[in-house]
């Protein structure tokens, strides 16, 4: 047994641990390269130390398990290059370290609740925090794209920081465009004329003659790379801006 290969096993355990522990899982999902490697090394070393200390205590105080470990050691010892008991002990500790990563993460998650740490991870990303705020407040948002089109609607898809977001899904209420020169907003399509009172229940069939469709059939996916700006949208505030002396029928709101 090669000691270098054996020490790779705790690294696997460390990676499994930090990928499933709620405290680190969403941060790890967006890391790569040397940062992810060093994180796996750090937690793998901690698990290795815990397993080594646990083995020492068990062998000292639990004779039954100690005798089983002795049998395993005698089986592994001939496989080691130098056929020493120390090499067999190292092999056992490394294998147990790898197997302990996932159960240890599940155990700690009983205290590190997913809902709290998920929100904490979301709030570290500006777009994810904005979408979460809109979803929690059940408020529509206005999204301006790089082709000057504007979409107003409700956030449909839940945020997941563990997945790199490429699109945002909206149930559209209105859409339009911004003038290329003045950037004033002009709405051209009003989806609420189709939904009626069914926008809140996306699975309810639309009124005739569109009873073969539901509101969710109009859900649109907008590329994150194509978004130039986004904001919460309040229809009452929009119409107040429309009536203001300082605006025309086309508003910058």
pLDDT digits (tens, 9 = 90+) for 169-191: 898 888 999 888 877 888 898 88
The boundaries of every CATH 2.30.30.100 domain in the chain are 120-243
- Over the chain, what is the mean pLDDT? 79
Top pLDDT among 26 and 247 is at 26
For the chain, give the secondary structure using H, E and C. CCHHHHHHHHHHHHHHHHHHCCCCHHHHHCCCCHHHHHHHHHHHHHHHHHHHHHHHHHHHHCHHHHHHHHHHHHHHHHHCCCCCHHHHHHHHHHHHHHHHHHHHHHHHCCCCCHHHHHHHHHCCCHHHHHHHHHHHHCCCEEEEECCCEEEEEEECCCCCCCCCCCEEEEEEEEEEEECCCCCCEEEEEECHHHHCCCCCCCCCECCCCCCCCEHHHHCEEEEHHHEEEEEECCHHHHHHHHHCCCCCCCECC
Q: Could you tell me the pLDDT band of residue 249, with boundaries at 50, 70 and 90?
A: very low
pLDDT at 1 over 60: no
pLDDT at 113 over 80: yes
Q: Is 3.50.50.60 the CATH classification of the domain at 120-243?
A: no
Top pLDDT among 39 and 194 is at 39
- Is the overall model pTM greater than 0.85, yes or no? no
pLDDT at 109 over 90: yes
């Amino acid at each position: 047994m090669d000691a270098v290969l054996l020490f790779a096993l705790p690294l696997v355990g460390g990676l499994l641990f930090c990928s499933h522990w709620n405290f680190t899982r969403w941060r790890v999902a967006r890391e790569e390269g040397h940062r992810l490697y060093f994180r796996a090394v750090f937690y793998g070393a901690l698990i290795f130390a815990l397993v080594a200390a646990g083995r020492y205590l068990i062998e000292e105080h639990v004779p039954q398990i100690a005798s089983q470990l002795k049998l395993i050691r005698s089986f592994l010892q001939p496989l080691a290059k130098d056929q020493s008991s120390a090499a067999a002990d190292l092999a056992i500790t490394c294998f147990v370290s790898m197997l302990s990563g996932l159960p240890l993460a599940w155990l700690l998650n009983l205290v590190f609740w997913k809902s709290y740490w998920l929100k904490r991870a979301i709030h570290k990303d500006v777009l994810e925090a904005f979408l979460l705020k809109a979803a929690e407040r059940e408020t529509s948002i206005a999204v301006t794209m790089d082709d000057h089109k504007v979409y107003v609607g409700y956030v449909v898809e839940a945020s997941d920081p563990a997945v790199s977001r490429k699109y945002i899904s909206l149930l559209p209420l209105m859409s339009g465009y911004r003038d290329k020169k003045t950037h004033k907003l002009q709405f051209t399509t009003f989806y609420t004329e189709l939904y009626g009172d069914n926008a809140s229940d996306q699975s309810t069939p639309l009124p005739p003659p569109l009873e073969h469709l539901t509101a969710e059939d109009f859900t649109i996916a907008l590329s994150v790379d194509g978004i130039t700006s986004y904001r919460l949208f309040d229809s009452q505030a929009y119409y107040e801006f429309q009536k203001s002396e300082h605006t025309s029928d086309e508003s910058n709101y």
